[in-house]
Amino acid sequence: MNYLAHLHLADHTHTSPLGNLLGDFVKGPLPGDLPPELRLGIRLHRAIDVFTDRHPEHRAAVATLPPPWRRYGPILVDMLYDHWLSRHWTRFEPGGLSPFLAKHYQGLLTSRHPLPPPLRRMAEQQWLGSYMEWDGIARALDGIGLRLRRPLPLGDGARQLAAVSREHMEQGFLRFYPTLMGFAREEAERLKREEAG
């Protein structure tokens, strides 16, 4: 999953939004001086990513991508899932997407914890609202593609996706995301008990 889904699942599980986003930036063993709420969020992020990557719907979506994009399938599908989450927001969240994003941008920018530069840019430039449009996702993927070891126009993977493949993947997302929400809720409770233990 990508930024929007991790923020939504942080809200859904009453865990740290920043911690859930930091899962993309903190690698390896967690530092001992990490605040408990960030530790919990990072651990939840990691569990969500593993659950997602192993889920049959996600694997089927990756398999839908033609070469050479299948190699980057997990990145592409995670971003496309953020697109469909934004498009179907009211299925999963009673409030509107814009107020949700405004609240989280403000929370990140006023955090007492330092933000990795990509997270600061995301909040300052308010990237996530653009995910509602297919071209917004393609531009975001192009930005990711520039940071790969061998830069490439990763957005072309979305631009070249046939309409029938998009529809198939979208329906898969709509089946998958409620399952992910349930997993995240249960895993967050398990991690809270473990951290308190």
Mean pLDDT to the nearest integer, 127-154? 92
**Closest listed residue to residue 127, CA positions, set 1, 16, 2:** 2
- Predicted pLDDT of residue 149: 87
The rounded mean pLDDT for the chain is 94
Is pLDDT of 164 > 90? no
**Closest listed residue to residue 39, CA positions, set 25, 52, 20:** 20
Is pLDDT of 197 > 80? no
pLDDT tens digits, one per residue of 107-122: 999 999 999 999 999 9
Is pLDDT of 5 > 80? yes
For residue 74, say if its preceding peptide bond is cis, omega within 30 degrees of 0: no
Mean pLDDT to the nearest integer, 130-157? 92
d(Cα 137, Cα 82) in Å, to the nearest integer?
8
The pLDDT-based confidence of 102 (bands split at 50, 70, 90) is very high
C-beta of residue 184 within 8 angstroms of C-beta of residue 12: yes
pLDDT tens digits, one per residue of 63-99: 999 888 999 999 999 999 999 999 999 999 989 999 9
Question: Among residues of the chain, what percentage have pLDDT more than 90?
Answer: 88
Mean pLDDT to the nearest integer, 142-158? 91
C-beta of residue 77 within 8 angstroms of C-beta of residue 64: no
The pLDDT-based confidence of 182 (bands split at 50, 70, 90) is very high
**Which range (74-83, 96-105, 148-157) has the least confidence?**
148-157
The pLDDT-based confidence of 147 (bands split at 50, 70, 90) is confident
Q: In one letter, which amino acid is 27?
A: K
Question: Among residues of the chain, what percentage have pLDDT more than 70?
Answer: 100
- Predicted pLDDT of residue 106: 97
For the chain, which residues make up each domain, given as ranges?
A: 3-196
Separation of CA 72 from chain center:
15
